[in-house]
Amino acid sequence: MQQQDRIRNFAIIAHIDHGKSTLADRILELTGAVSEREMREQLLDTMELERERGITIKAQAVRVMWRGHQLNLIDTPGHVDFTYEVARSLQACEGALLVVDAAQGIEAQTLANAYLAIEGGLEIVPAANKIDLPQADPEGASKELGDLLGEEPERVLRISAKTGVGVPDVLDAIVERIPAPAGDPNAPARALVFDSSYDQYRGVVAFVRVVDGSFSTREPVRAMAQGTEFDAEEIGVMSPARTPIASLSAGEVGYVITGLKDVSRLRVGDTLTSRRRPAAEPLPGYQDVKPMVFAGIFPTDSDDYPELRDALERLKLNDGSLSYDPETSQALGFGFRCGFLGLLHMEIVRERLEREFDLDLLITAPNVAYRATTRTGEEVEVHNPAEMPRELEQVEEPYVKASVIVPKDFVGAVMELANERRGTFDHMEYLSEGRVLLLYELPLGEIVLDFYDQLKSRTRGYASFDYDLAGFRPGELSRVDILVGGEQVDALSLIIHRDAAYDRGRQLVERLREEIPRQMIDVPIQAAIGSRVIARETVKARRKDVLAKCYGGDISRKRKLLEKQKKGKKRMKQVGSVEVPQEAFLAVLNLDSERKR
Amino acid sequence: MGRREEHGSYVAALLAELELARACLTRELETVFVGGGTPTFTEPRELARLLGALPAADEVTVEANPETVTPELVELLVAGGVTRVSLGVQSFQPRLLDVLERRATPESARRAVLAIRDSGFDNLSLDLIYGIPGQTTSDLRCDLEAALALEPEHLSCYELEAKPGTRFTHAHGAELARQADVLEGYFELVVETLTDAGYRWYETANFCRAEERDLRAQHNLGYWLGHDYLGIGVGAVSTIAGERRRNLPSLARYLAALAAGEPPPHEVEPIDDETHRRELLLLGLRLDEPVALGAVGDALDLAALARLETLGLVERTANGRGEELRLTRRGRFLGGGVTAELLSA
C-alpha cells in the first residue's frame, strides 16, 4: 500500500488534437510503464475508431511511478457530448494538466474543460504543447493560459509531447503542485465510479477512485445510487495492463471486476461502498444522464433487424448512455429510436454499428427531446417528431449555452449564423488581441441540424465550439409532416420553428420529387402543418412502360427482365400505393449534408 | 446474306435441320413464319427451294423488305404457298429512313404493296417504327396516315429501341434524350389513330382490321398463348415439351454441324411448369383477350393484383370459364411495369 501523501491523481484536459494522447503516451514511456517496443501510438485509446478519429471515447486510468510517487493518470473523453463523464473523471483527481497547442492557443474545449476543472477545485498545471512546430507561439499561448487561470505566464510549462521535450518537468510539476488526495483511510469505504467498460468474459469492469476506507478482493459491494450489489471478483490497477492487487485504499485509483452482466446496472458517477460496513452518505453529484438527441436507426435490408437489435444490445453493454427502443416506421420498416448524448455520440454509435457489426443502416435526421403540453393539459416527452401531439398548448425544447472562439475577423460570420439559428447573444470578450470568445444561447435543435459544419465552413475551419445544456424553454415550434400520395411518411416528419417551416417543407418536397421515380399514377408530394398544406409538388404519372416486341426468340429475355424488375420493387418502400426507393429517403435525410457542400 | 454462293448451303442446312426435327412436327401445321433478317434477300432459286420444302400450313407468312419486292418475287411467294406477307416499311419519310439506315424509299414501299395486292394476297401486314430520332408528332401522324392509306389487314408498330452501347445510340442518344417528353405520347397517338381507323389493338404492338375473318397474326398468337413452336436457323429458338432450345449465333458452326448431319450447336433452358405459368401470364397480358387465372396459378402476385385493380390498371372478370384477368386500356400502356408487378416474386 502506498503512503497517501505520495499519491497524485491527475487528468489531462485539452481541446481536440492539442496533443493529449501523445502526452499520455510519452508519460507512460518516460516512467517505464511501457517499453518503447510495446509503445503503440495513443496507447490509451483502445478502440480502433478512437485511434482513427484521434479522439478518446472511453476514459481509462493508468498507474505509473515517478520519483517515489504513485501517479494515476485518468484519461478523459475530449468531446462536448461527454461533459458529464469528463466531470466525473475530474472528480477522481486533485489536479489536471491543461494542454494547449502553442500554434492554436486556447480553444472552446480548452475553456469548457478548464472551467469544469476549476469548478471541481482542481489544481491546474498548464502546458503549452507542440513547441517544436515552426508556427508555434509559446509566448502567446502561455499568456492566454496565464490570463485564463490568473497565473504568471512563467508557470506555464513549454513542452513537446511529440519529441519529449519538457515532459519530465511535467511529471515533476505534477508531484510538486498537485496536492495529495485527502480522504479518511479508516472511514467506511467509498469509491467513485468514474468509468466502466464491459469485458465479454468477466462482465462490467468499473474504474474507481477510492475516497475513504479501502476495498479488498471479494469485498461485498453496493452501488449506493442504483442499489446494485455484487462481490468484487478482482481488484487491481492498470499499469497499463490490468494488474490484480489485494486491495485499493483511500486516494488510490484502480479497477473492480464486478461480474455484472449489464453495464446499465452500474452507472458512471455512482458511489461504491462495502456492505460489511456501509457508508452513510454517497459521494455528491450523481446524475442519471439523459439522452438529448434522438434518431431512428433502421436496417437497409429489413432482414437485418435481428442483427441490428443484437448489435445495439452489445454496444449498450459498453455504453450506458446509449438508449434504444423499438420503432416501426411504415416507410422504413422495423428499427429503433435511439437516444444519444449528442451528435458525436450518434456518429460514433453509427460508425461502430456499421464497422464492428457490418450493418447497412438508414438513419433519420436527428431531433432533440421535446416537452409537449397538450390542450388537455397532459405533459409528454417526445423523442420522435411523428409522435408529437397535433393539438398542442405548448412545446418546450432544450437550449444550450454555446461558446465559440474565433479570430476576430470571423465574428460577423458567427453572429450571422447564430442569428439564423435563433441564437440569443449573451456576451463577447477578447481572449487576446486577435481572438474572440462569443457566448450565445441556442436551441439544441438548431445545433443538431448542421450548426457545427456551418460554423466550420463560415469561419474557414478556425472556429472552435462547445456547449452546455441550459434547460428547456418554450418555442414557436411546428410539426411538419410530409405526405406522399396522400399518405404521411412518418420517418420524414420534423419539428421546426414556425418561421423556417415553409422553406424547409419546400426543400423536402422538391427533393422528394426529384428522387421518386415516375409511377403508374400521379403522385402528389406535400408538406403540411396539421391539415394546412404548405408546399406541394407532383410526380407525373408515366404515360407508357412497355416491352415493345415479344416473339418466340424474346420470351426468356423478357421474362428475366420482368423478374428483375419485380425484385427491384422489393427494395422499394411502399407508402400507400406509391413505391419510394430507399435512396429517396436517404437523399432527403441527407438534405442537410447536401446543403452544406 | 451478302454472299450469294452461301445462300445455297444455308438453305440446305435449314432443310437438314428441319429434317432432324421432323419427328416433333405434325403433318399439317397451323402456321409457318419465314422471317428474321430478310428472307426475301435470298437468291430466288434458293428461296423457292426453301418454300417448296416447308410443310403445308394454314398460315404461311414471309417477311419482306420493300426494296426486295418485285412482281417476280411475289409470284415466287404465291407459288411457294405463302398466304401472308409482312412488309418492313418502318417509315414513309426519306429523312427518317436515312436515320434508320434503310435502303427502302416511300415509293418502293407503295410499289411493293401494289405488287403484293396485284397477285391476290389478302393478308398483308406493315411494320412501322416510331420514336425515331428527329421524328416529330406530325411526322408520326403522316406515317400512320400513309400506312392506313394502303389498307393493310395488319399493322405492327414498334417503338425504336436504342440499346445502350450500340453505334446507333452513340449517334442518336442525345437527340432521343432531348425528345424524351414528346416521345412519351407517341404510343398513345399510335393506338388512338389506329383504333379510330377501325383497327383492333389485339396485342401490345399489333393491330388488325376488325372484321369477321380473324386477321391477327396466327403464328405470333401462338407465342403469346404459350404454345410450343419449332424454330430453325442460326440463332433460332424453339420451345417444345418443357424445353427451350436456342441455336448458337455462329453461322460457320451451324453450317458445319448440319453438313455433317449433326444437330446445330445450341443451348437448352428447361421451362418447368412454374416458369411456363409465369410466361403464360406475362405473354397473355399483352393481348386484349383475358388470361384465365386458373392457368397461371401461383405465378400471380395477389397483393399486387389487388393494388393494381384499385389503380384501374387491371381488371378481373368472372364468367362460365372461371376468373379471368386483363389489363385495362391504361394498364396496357404501362404493360411492362404492371406485368412485372403482377408476377409473383
How many Cβ atoms are within 10 Å of B249's Cβ, its own excluded? Answer: 11
Whole-angstrom distance, CA of residue A507 vs CA of residue A214? 61
- Chain B: nearest CA to A298, how far in angstroms? 24
Determine how β-strand A253-257 pairs with β-strand B154-159: unpaired
| Closest-CA residue of chain B to A543 | B184
- How does the average pLDDT of chain A come out, rounded? 87
Interface with chain B: mutation pick from A519, A562, A567, A572, highest number of B CBs within 10 Å = A562
Subunit contact B278:A553, Cβ cutoff 8 A: no
For the segment A250-260, the average pLDDT, to the nearest whole number, is 94
Q: Which residues in chain B have their CB less than 8 angstroms from residue A544's CB?
A: 184, 187-188, 333-334
Task: Check residue A56 and give its pLDDT.
Answer: 43
Residue A590 reports pLDDT greater than 70: no
CA angle A346, A73, A101 (to 5 degrees): 70
Q: Which residues in chain A have their CB less than 8 angstroms from residue B335's CB?
A: 545-547
The phi and psi torsions of B307 (rounded to 5 degrees) equal -65, -45
Subunit contact B204:A569, Cβ cutoff 8 A: no
For the segment A540-554, the average pLDDT, to the nearest whole number, is 87
Residue A595 reports pLDDT greater than 50: no
Its pTM stands at 0.67
The phi and psi torsions of A28 (rounded to 5 degrees) equal -60, -40
- Chain A: nearest CA to B215, how far in angstroms? 17
Whole-angstrom distance, CA of residue A351 vs CA of residue A319? 14
Whole-angstrom distance, CA of residue B141 vs CA of residue B100? 18
How do residues B99-132 score in pLDDT, each as one tens digit? 998 888 889 999 999 999 999 999 999 999 999 9
B79 touches chain A (CB under 8 A): no
Looking at 2.40.10.120, 3.30.750.200, 1.10.3720.10, 3.30.420.40, the CATH number of the domain B26-223 comes to 3.30.750.200
A565 touches chain B (CB under 8 A): yes
Band of pLDDT at residue A58, cut at 50, 70 and 90: very low
Let me know: does A266 contact A196? Beta carbons within 8 Å.
yes
Subunit contact A545:B334, Cβ cutoff 8 A: yes
Residue type, A316: K
Write out the H or E segment, with its range, that includes residue A372: strand A370-374
Whole-angstrom distance, CA of residue B33 vs CA of residue B113? 19
Q: Classify residue B37 as left (phi > 0), alpha (psi -120 to 50) or beta.
A: left
Q: Residue A387 pairs with which residues in a beta bridge? A: none
- Chain B: nearest CA to A512, how far in angstroms? 20
Residue type, B117: R
Give the end-to-end CA distance of chain A in Å, rounded to a whole number: 58
User: Measured in whole angstroms, how far is the alpha carbon of residue B238 from the centre of its chain?
Assistant: 15
Instruction: Count interface pairs A-B at CB distance under 8 A.
Output: 103
Whole-angstrom distance, CA of residue B46 vs CA of residue B43? 5
User: Measured in whole angstroms, how far is the alpha carbon of residue A163 from the centre of its chain?
Assistant: 31
Radius of gyration of chain A (CA): 27
Which residues, including other chains, have CB under 8 Å from residue A129's CB and lie 6 or more apart? A14, A18, A19, A23, A99, A100, A101, A102, A159, A160, A161
B14 touches chain A (CB under 8 A): no
Which residue in B220, B278, B332 is closest to A551 by CB distance?
B220
Interface with chain A: mutation pick from B334, B338, B343, B344, highest number of A CBs within 10 Å = B334
Q: Go through chain B and tell me how many residues it has.
A: 345
Q: Which residues in chain A have their CB less than 8 angstroms from residue B341's CB?
A: 566, 569
Q: What is the DSSP letter of B195?
A: H
Whole-angstrom distance, CA of residue A135 vs CA of residue B308? 69
How do residues A332-386 score in pLDDT, each as one tens digit? 889 999 999 887 788 888 888 988 888 888 888 889 999 999 888 899 999 999 8
Whole-angstrom distance, CA of residue A277 vs CA of residue B77? 113
Subunit contact B187:A543, Cβ cutoff 8 A: yes
- Cβ burial A279-316 (10 Å sphere, 16+ → b, else e): beebbeebeebebbbbbbbbbeeeebbeebbebbebbb
Band of pLDDT at residue A176, cut at 50, 70 and 90: very high
How do residues A555-588 score in pLDDT, each as one tens digit? 999 999 999 888 877 667 777 778 888 778 777 7
Q: Topology of B274-342 in CATH?
A: Arc Repressor Mutant, subunit A (1.10.10)
Task: Check residue A594 and give its pLDDT.
Answer: 45
User: Measured in whole angstroms, how far is the alpha carbon of residue B30 from the centre of its chain?
Assistant: 17
A522 touches chain B (CB under 8 A): no
Distances (CA, A) of A222 to A229, A275, A579, B72: 4, 6, 55, 109
Q: Which residues in chain A have their CB less than 8 angstroms from residue B227's CB?
A: none
Determine how β-strand A95-101 pairs with β-strand A190-199: unpaired
Subunit contact A546:B187, Cβ cutoff 8 A: yes
Interface with chain B: mutation pick from A523, A559, A560, highest number of B CBs within 10 Å = A559
Whole-angstrom distance, CA of residue A569 vs CA of residue A564? 9
User: Measured in whole angstroms, how far is the alpha carbon of residue A85 from the centre of its chain?
Assistant: 11
Residue ranges of alpha helices (H) inside A282-372 are 305-318, 343-356
Subunit contact B339:A577, Cβ cutoff 8 A: no
The phi and psi torsions of B136 (rounded to 5 degrees) equal -90, 170
Q: Note which residues in 74-103 of chain A have CB less than 8 A from chain B.
A: none
Residue A187 reports pLDDT greater than 80: yes
Determine how β-strand A572-575 pairs with β-strand A578-581: antiparallel
Let me know: does A75 contact A10? Beta carbons within 8 Å.
no
SS in 3 state form for A88-139?
A: HHHHCCCEEEEEEECCCCCCHHHHHHHHHHHHCCCEEEEEEECCCCCCCCHH
Subunit contact B278:A549, Cβ cutoff 8 A: no
Q: What is the DSSP letter of A22?
A: H
- Chain A: nearest CA to B336, how far in angstroms? 4
Subunit contact A570:B336, Cβ cutoff 8 A: no
Whole-angstrom distance, CA of residue B218 vs CA of residue B203? 12
Q: Are B26-223 and B274-342 in the same CATH fold?
A: no
In 3D space, the residue among A78, A104, A108 whose CA is nearest the CA of residue A90 turns out to be A78
Task: Check residue A491 and give its pLDDT.
Answer: 83
Q: Which residues in chain B have their CB less than 8 angstroms from residue A566's CB?
A: 301, 340-341, 343, 345
Which residues, including other chains, have CB under 8 Å from residue B203's CB and lie 6 or more apart? B216, B220, B221, B224, B286, B287, B288
Task: Check residue A53 and give its pLDDT.
Answer: 46
Q: Find the Cα–Cα–Cα–Cα dihedral B323, B328, B332, B336, rounded to 10°.
A: -60
Which residues, including other chains, have CB under 8 Å from residue A51's CB and lie 6 or more apart? A41, A42, A45
Residue B144 reports pLDDT greater than 70: yes
Subunit contact B239:A552, Cβ cutoff 8 A: yes
- Percentages helix, strand, coil for chain B (3-state, rounded to 5) are 45, 20, 30
Picking from A101-110, A172-181, A292-301, A310-319, which range would have the lowest pLDDT averaged per residue? A310-319
Which residue in A559, A565, A567 is closest to B278 by CB distance?
A559
Residue type, B11: V
SS3 B214: coil
Subunit contact A545:B239, Cβ cutoff 8 A: no
How do residues B1-55 score in pLDDT, each as one tens digit? 456 678 889 999 999 999 999 888 877 889 999 987 778 788 888 999 999 999 8
Q: Note which residues in 210-249 of chain B have CB less than 8 A from chain A.
A: 220, 223-224, 229, 231, 235-239, 244, 246
Domain positions in chain B: 26-223, 232-270, 274-342
Band of pLDDT at residue A54, cut at 50, 70 and 90: very low
Subunit contact B235:A553, Cβ cutoff 8 A: yes
Whole-angstrom distance, CA of residue B321 vs CA of residue B306? 21
B41 touches chain A (CB under 8 A): no
